[in-house]
Amino acid sequence: MTSKSSRWLGWSSVVLLSVTAVMGLWVTPPDVVQGDLVRLLYVHPALAWVALYVSFGTAVVAAGLYLWPRTRSEQMDRVSYCAMEISVVFIALTLVTGSIWGRPTWGVWWAWDARLTSTAILGVFEVAYLALRRANDDPDTRARRSGVFVILTAVNVPIIHFSVIWWKTLHQGASVLTSTGSLNVHGSMLWTMLISFVGFTTLFFWFLVRRVALESARGARQHAALDAALEMRRREGVG
């Protein structure tokens, strides 16, 4: 992706998230039950959306493309790795904002609720993934093992998604749509939520583009250093 496209993603994120902040703080009304606490609705669900589906989903797809022989490339491994890094950040923000929301709503900062626990477990798996990559020096072995780990970890995402249906939990159900497909929010609140989802999604892709570029540059330096070392050894052998 060109630097122009990267800048477009960055500025789009700034504009969309600024609009979200203005509408969330000053345009949308307080909730009848939760009051101003409902304004976390414009942050927490969007963070969870990016963490669980957009970022982690990107990592899973890229890992699958790497493991498939016809589409295997070093770039796919980089994309998967960088997306997992970003997902860790978004999962941490999801848990933090959820705790801030849960304290006045449930009376506690943390509860071993099915949704919260399964999300935290995914975060632990992602940190373990990052540790696994550091434990392998061979690039091919590291990429293959990391790809398999990501695919296996993906089993946890449906558990997180359906946890509020399968078990009786403190966590509320879907924020936007009910099980029958009707809307939970309307008017300016709905528009603010949609803008926040697009804004945080755009922010993720800007992070991903920048992070992959940095990782590609680091890989190029490593290859250049290895080539220089091999050339030096060849010259020593000739001498």
Share of the chain above pLDDT 90, in %: 60
Is it the case that residue 42 has pLDDT exceeding 60?
A: yes
| Digit-coded pLDDT (tens) for 48-87 | 999 999 999 999 999 999 999 999 999 999 999 999 999 9
Q: How far is CA 19 from the centre of its chain?
A: 22
Domain count, the chain: 1
Is 181 domain-assigned? yes
For residue range 203-228, list pLDDT tens digits in order: 999 999 999 999 888 866 666 665 56
Q: What is the CATH number of the domain that holds 55?
A: 1.20.120
Q: What is the pLDDT of residue 102?
A: 86
Is 90 domain-assigned?
yes
Asked whether residue 38 is domain-assigned, the answer is: yes
The pTM of this model reads 0.88
Separation between Cα atoms, residue 202 and residue 141, nearest integer Å:
32
End-to-end Cα, the chain, rounded Å: 44
223: in domain: no
Residue range 118-142: average pLDDT? 92
In a domain, 232, yes or no: no
Whether 228 is in a domain gets the answer no
Residue 103 is part of which domain span? 3-214
Residue 224 lies in a domain: no
CB-CB contact of 47 with 101 (8 Å): no
Domain assignment present for 74: yes
